[in-house]
Amino acid sequence: MKYVDEFRDPEMAKTLLKQIEALTLEIPKASKRPLQIMEVCGGHTHSIFKFGIETMLPDCIELVHGPGCPVCVLPMGRVDDCIAIAETPNMIFTTFGDAMRVPGSKKSLLQAKAEGCDIRMVYSPLDALELAKNNPDKEVSFFGLGFETTMPSTALTVLQAEADSVENFSLFCNHITIIPTIKAILDSPDLKLDGFLGPGHVSMVIGNSPYNFIANHYKRPLVVAGFEPLDVLQSIWMVLKQIKEGRHEIENQYNRIVPDDGNNIALQSIGKVFELREFFEWRGLGSIDHSGVKIRDEYAKFDSEKKFDLPSLKIADPKSCQCGEVLKGVIKPWECKVFGELCTPETPLGSLMVSSEGACAAYYQYGGALMEAKKAEAEKTAS
Amino acid sequence: MNELKNKNEETAGATPFRRGGALKADKITMAHGSGGKAMRDLIDDVFIKSFDNPAMGEMEDQARIDLRALQAEGDRLAFTTDSFVVDPLFFPGGDIGKLAIFGTVNDLAVGGAKPLYLTCSMIIEEGLEIDTLRKVVSSMREAADLSGVSIVTGDTKVVDKGACDKLFINTAGVGVIPKGTDIGAKKVKPGDKLLVNGVLGDHGAAILNARGDMSLTSPVLSDCKPLYELIENFLKAAPGTSSIRDATRGGLASAVNEIAETAGVGVLLNEDDIPLRKEVRGFCEILGLDPLYLANEGTLVAFVPAEQADDALAAMKNLEAGKEAAIIGEAVEGTSGRVIMQSSFGGKRIVDMLVGDQLPRIC
pLDDT digits (tens, 9 = 90+) for B242-279: 999 999 999 999 999 999 999 999 999 999 999 999 99
Average pLDDT over chain B reads: 89
Q: What is the pLDDT of residue B11?
A: 45
Same domain, B118 and B190: no
**Residue in chain B nearest A357 by alpha carbon:** B361
Q: Bridge partners of B158?
A: B124
Q: Nearest CA to B8 among B123, B131, B137?
A: B123
**Residue in chain B nearest A348 by alpha carbon:** B355
Letter for the amino acid at A29?
K
Q: How many helices (H) and strands (E) does chain B have?
A: 12, 13
User: B363 lies in a domain?
Assistant: no
Q: Nearest CA to A114 among A128, A98, A101?
A: A101
User: B362 lies in a domain?
Assistant: no
Q: What is the pLDDT of residue A101?
A: 83
CA dist A285 and B94 (Å) reads 49
Same domain, B230 and B332: yes
**How many CB atoms are closer than 10 A to CB A3?**
9
Same domain, B110 and B65: yes
For residue B362, give the nearest of A8, A96, A367 by CB distance.
Answer: A96
Same domain, B148 and B259: no
For residue B343, give the nearest of A14, A52, A71 by CB distance.
Answer: A52
Instruction: List Cα–Cα distances, A246 to A128, A241, A264, A323, B241, in angstroms.
Output: 49, 8, 33, 32, 60
Q: What is the pLDDT of residue A358?
A: 79
Residue burial A95-131, b: 16+ Cβ < 10 Å; e: rest: bbbbbbbbbbeebbbbebbeeebebebbbebbbbbbb
CA dist A46 and A371 (Å) reads 16
- Which of the two residues, A45 and B212, has the higher pLDDT score? A45
Do the Cβ atoms of B347 and A145 come within 8 Å?
no
Same domain, B113 and B221: no
Say whether the peptide bond before residue A89 is cis (omega within 30 degrees of 0). no
User: B162 lies in a domain?
Assistant: yes
The answer, yes or no, to whether residue B214 has pLDDT greater than 80, is no
Give the β-pairing of B150-159 and B114-125: parallel
User: A82 lies in a domain?
Assistant: yes
Same domain, A138 and A35: no
Q: What is the pLDDT of residue B14?
A: 44
**Residue in chain A nearest B278 by alpha carbon:** A1
Same domain, A42 and A101: no
Q: Bridge partners of A222?
A: A196, A250
Domain at A338, CATH number: 3.40.50.11750
Check residue B238 and report its DSSP letter.
Answer: -
Q: What is the pLDDT of residue B164?
A: 94
Q: How many helices (H) and strands (E) does chain A have?
A: 16, 13
Same domain, A215 and A122: no
Considering its fold, how many domains does chain B have in total?
A: 2
Do the Cβ atoms of A369 and B338 come within 8 Å?
yes
The answer, yes or no, to whether residue B73 has pLDDT greater than 70, is yes
**How many CB atoms are closer than 10 A to CB A275?**
12
Same domain, B78 and B148: yes
Same domain, A14 and A122: no
3-state SS, residue A172: strand
Domain that holds residue B166: 2-177
**How many CB atoms are closer than 10 A to CB B361?**
19
Q: What is the pLDDT of residue B168?
A: 96
Check residue B46 and report its DSSP letter.
Answer: I
- Based on C-alpha coordinates, what's the Rg of chain B? 22
Do the Cβ atoms of A1 and B359 come within 8 Å?
no
Written in H, E and C, the secondary structure of B103-140 is HHHHHHHCCCCEEEEEEEEEEEECCCEHHHHHHHHHHH
Q: Quick one: average pLDDT of B104-118?
A: 97
User: A348 lies in a domain?
Assistant: yes
Check residue A29 and report its DSSP letter.
Answer: G
Q: Bridge partners of A119?
A: A93
User: A259 lies in a domain?
Assistant: no
Same domain, A117 and A232: no
Residue B93, sorted as left (phi over 0), alpha (psi -120 to 50) or beta, turns out to be: left
Identify the weakest region by mean pLDDT among A181-185, A247-251, B153-157, B198-202.
A181-185
Q: Nearest CA to A69 among A355, A279, A343, A353?
A: A355
Q: Bridge partners of A172?
A: A143
Considering its fold, how many domains does chain A have in total?
A: 2
Same domain, A80 and A163: yes
Cβ-contact B88, B102 below 8 angstroms? no
User: A280 lies in a domain?
Assistant: no
Domain at A104, CATH number: 3.40.50.11740
Q: Quick one: average pLDDT of B194-216?
A: 86
Cβ-contact B231, B113 below 8 angstroms? no
Q: Bridge partners of B52?
A: none
Same domain, A95 and A165: yes
CA dist B163 and B159 (Å) reads 6
The answer, yes or no, to whether residue B74 has pLDDT greater than 90, is yes
Q: What is the pLDDT of residue A370?
A: 59
Same domain, A81 and A203: no
* Domain-ending residue, one of B156, B177, B198: B177
| A61 alpha-carbon distance from chain centroid | 22
- Which of the two residues, B336 and B233, has the higher pLDDT score? B233
pTM: 0.85
Residue burial B133-168, b: 16+ Cβ < 10 Å; e: rest: bebbbebbbebbebbebbbbbbbbbbbeeeebebbb
Same domain, A226 and A357: yes
CB pairs under 8 A between A and B: 100
Do the Cβ atoms of B346 and A56 come within 8 Å?
yes
- Which of the two residues, A371 and B331, has the higher pLDDT score? B331
* Domain-ending residue, one of A263, A280, A307: A307
User: B297 lies in a domain?
Assistant: yes
Q: What is the pLDDT of residue B213?
A: 58
Side-chain half-sphere of A58: how many Cα atoms within 13 Å?
20
User: A171 lies in a domain?
Assistant: yes
Domain that holds residue A247: 1-70+178-254+318-383
CA dist B155 and B56 (Å) reads 12
Letter for the amino acid at A296?
R
Domain at B278, CATH number: 3.90.650.10
Same domain, B223 and B110: no
Confidence at B363, pLDDT banded by 50, 70, 90 = very low
Cβ-contact B122, B94 below 8 angstroms? no
* Domain-ending residue, one of A307, A331, A346: A307
CA dist A275 and A295 (Å) reads 6
3-state SS, residue B51: helix
Q: What is the pLDDT of residue B60?
A: 76
Burial tier of A347 (Cβ tally within 10 Å: 0-12, 13-18, 19+)? exposed
Do the Cβ atoms of B360 and A229 come within 8 Å?
no
Cβ-contact A352, A361 below 8 angstroms? yes
Residue burial B72-100, b: 16+ Cβ < 10 Å; e: rest: ebbebbbebebebebeebbbebbbbbbbb
Domain at B72, CATH number: 3.30.1330.10
Q: Bridge partners of B120?
A: B154
**∠ CA A218-A220-A223 to the nearest 5 degrees?**
135
Q: What is the pLDDT of residue A331?
A: 86
The answer, yes or no, to whether residue B4 has pLDDT greater than 90, is no
Cβ-contact A46, B361 below 8 angstroms? yes
DSSP codes, A111-147? HHHHTT-EEEE-SSHHHHHHHHHH-TTSEEEEEEEES
Do the Cβ atoms of A8 and B363 come within 8 Å?
no
Residue burial A312-340, b: 16+ Cβ < 10 Å; e: rest: eeebebbeebbbbbbbbbebbbbebebbb
Cβ-contact A199, A41 below 8 angstroms? yes
B347/A contact by beta carbon, under 8 A: yes
Do the Cβ atoms of A146 and B362 come within 8 Å?
yes
User: B166 lies in a domain?
Assistant: yes
CA dist B133 and B89 (Å) reads 10
Same domain, A81 and A26: no
Minimum distance, in Å, between the CA of residue A185 and any CA atom of chain B:
22
The answer, yes or no, to whether residue B8 has pLDDT greater than 60, is no
Same domain, B292 and B218: yes
- Which of the two residues, B146 and B11, has the higher pLDDT score? B146
Instruction: List Cα–Cα distances, B43 to A311, B48, B122, B131, B335, in angstroms.
Output: 54, 6, 11, 14, 54
H helices present in chain B, as ranges: 2-7, 37-42, 49-51, 54-57, 67-71, 96-109, 130-147, 202-210, 228-237, 251-263, 278-287, 306-317
Residues of chain A with pLDDT under 70: 356, 366-383
The answer, yes or no, to whether residue B79 has pLDDT greater than 70, is yes
Residue burial B208-237, b: 16+ Cβ < 10 Å; e: rest: bbbeebeebeeebebbbbbbbbbbbbbbeb
Same domain, A60 and A82: no
Do the Cβ atoms of B352 and A356 come within 8 Å?
no
Same domain, A185 and A240: yes
